[in-house]
A = this chain, B = another copy of it.
Amino acid sequence: MSKRNLFYAQSGGVTPVINASAAGVIQTAKRYPDQIGKVLAGQNGILGALQENLIDTSKERSRAIEGLISTPGGAFGSCRYKLRSLSENRAEYERLIAVFEAHNIGYFLYNGGGDSADTCLKVSQISASMGFPIQAIHIPKTIDNDLPLTDNCPGFGSVAKYVAISTREAAMDVASMCATSTKVFILEVMGRHAGWIAGASALAASERGDAPHIILFPEIAFDRDQFLKRVAECVERYGYCVIVASEGASTADGKLLSDQGERDAFGHAQLGGLAPLLAEMIRDTLGYKYHWAVADYLQRAARHIASQTDVDQAFALGKAAVQVAVAGANAVMPAIKRTSNHPYRWSIEPVPLSRVANREKKMPRRFITRDGFGITPQARAYFEPLIAGEAYPQYQRGLPRYTRLKQVLVPKRCPSWRRP
């Protein structure tokens, strides 16, 4: 096989560990000098390829690449930019392939969620049909944990850990105050369509009666009366009530509780504000004093308390993506396979992208208690290993020392391009 360059890009919402996958890719690619030339990273994801803004990762110090393992955010820039279908915008795909050809790119490693898996598959298909075949490998990433065919998604374990810890801590605060003050605390967490993150908050509880007392899942239709009844029961029984609500919580007719009509680039509803809405509902009917928090990006960037399992898996998947690429694979995603719960063991196996793209894995009903407000022991057994271990970053003057890249771009070889 002739030596070709590797293109790597980050896509969609970033995670605390997506850069660990990048480090896995870059460090592993160096081990195959006969097959892989440079690793060129897209500046701001796939836009970097379209605009021919390609970061030459060989210009970064190896210490900086190592530092990516403990750096949150997307070090090369990510983007929310969904390539349209081939019939709608063939020119965009042709531009991509032209840039790849100009830079002798033979490997396309795309680090993202479900939408990106679809893009990755299309790149593989169109490049073949255009006579410049590119091996397209998808590296899974999403805090939502909603990709199919993989035990879990890198990014999720760390967010789960952050949310479980935060729930435990905030609950201790409320428990201290509830005799005379706050009786209800609501934490709104991410998860548009799947309740994995909300569900993981249940790990905060270790004894009966522990918080969280109520979890609202997107998978369970929200019933106002049942919800308020349960809140009152908890305050009655425990003195306080802690609620973890997924931003995707919806009513039986499928309408999001918090939908305010905004849409993002993918046409998804822009969410937020469910916690204050629930708080008002409780105040107006039950009259309890409440507090609420919306963790938003804090949960998604909290590298300071990342899960060691998560960091290890993110790195391993980046590494595996390079390994399967040099072994000749195409249109696949290295996936995590759980081989044992106690002790937790896992391996990596490539799965065909055609079976990954545009499918969402929701919380199975057997993971949610019959009343719809909690998780089952089966779910707990699934979640627990994913938050194991504390992968602390290094600190300097009281703050984590996160890596900044130089982002040196390679000279352009193509005509300039504008977003259509």
A295-314 interface code vs B (CB 8 A; 1 in, 0 out): 11110111111010000000
- Chain A 250-275, CB-CB to B under 8 Å as 1, else 0, gives 00000000000000110000101101
Q: Are B303 and A181 in contact, CB atoms less than 8 angstroms apart?
A: no
Give the segment of A117-125, A172-180, A321-329 that binds chain B.
A172-180
B-facing mask of A217-257, CB < 8 A → 1, else 0? Answer: 00000000000000000000000000000000000000000
Docked CA distance A172–B206 (Å): 33
Residue pair B399, A395 in contact (C-beta under 8 Å): no
Q: Which residue of B lies closest to A207 (CB)?
A: B404
> Is A78 located at the chain interface by the 8 A CB criterion?
yes
Within the complex, which residue of B78, B168, B180, B398 is in contact with A399, where a contact is CB–CB below 8 Å?
B168
Which B residues are in CB contact (< 8 Å) with A292? 272, 294, 296
Known contacts A71-B172, A73-B172, A300-B173, A44 near B387 by CB under 8 Å: no
State whether B297 touches A295 (Cβ < 8 A): no
Most B C-beta atoms less than 10 A away, residue of A45, A72, A181: A181
Q: Does A104 lie at the interface of the complex (its beta carbon under 8 Å from any beta carbon of B)?
A: no
The contact sample of 11 A-B pairs, CB cut-off 8 A, is A45-B179, A72-B172, A73-B173, A81-B180, A165-B399, A166-B301, A173-B301, A185-B297, A203-B397, A292-B296, A293-B293
Q: Closest residue of chain B to A80, judged by CB? A: B181
A156 within 8 A of B: no
Q: Which of A177, A206, A302 has the most CB of B within 10 A?
A: A177
Across the interface, do B276 and A174 meet the contact criterion of CB distance under 8 Å? Answer: no
A10 at interface by CB-CB < 8 Å:
yes
Beta-carbon contacts of A139-157 to B below 8 Å, as 1s and 0s?
A: 0000000000000000000
Q: Which residues of B contact A301 (CB under 8 A)?
A: 166, 169-170, 172-173
Smallest distance from the beta carbon of A344 to chain B beta carbons, Å? Answer: 11
The listed residue (B169, B175, B389, B400) touching A298 by CB distance below 8 A is B169
Expressed in whole angstroms, the Cα–Cα distance for A71 and B265 within the complex equals 43
- 14 more A-B residue pairs beyond the given contacts A170-B296, A298-B298, with a C-beta to C-beta distance below 8 A: A44-B179, A77-B175, A77-B179, A78-B176, A81-B180, A166-B298, A169-B302, A170-B301, A174-B297, A293-B293, A293-B296, A387-B397, A388-B398, A389-B398
User: What copy number does this chain have within its complex?
Assistant: 2
Indicate whether A346 reaches chain B with its CB closer than 8 angstroms: no
- Chain B residues with CB under 8 Å of A300's CB are 173
- A195 at the B interface (CB under 8 A): no
Picked from B185, B272, B298, the residue with its CB within 8 Å of the CB of A295 is B298
**A365, CB-defined interface residue at 8 Å:** no
Closest Cβ of chain B to A54, distance in Å, is 15
Interface string of A378-420 (1 = CB under 8 A from B): 0000001001111010010111101000000000000000000
Residues of B within 8 A of A291 (CB): 272, 296-297
Q: Bound state CA distance, A96 and B376, in angstroms? A: 47
A165 to chain B, nearest CB (A): 5
Is A47 an interface residue, CB under 8 A from the partner? yes
Chain B residues positioned under 8 Å from A264 (CB to CB): 181, 289
Contact assessment for A177 and B13 in the assembled complex, using a CB-CB cutoff below 8 Å: yes
Contacting pair A305 B305 (CB below 8 A): yes
A358-380: which residues lie under 8 A (CB-CB) from chain B?
none
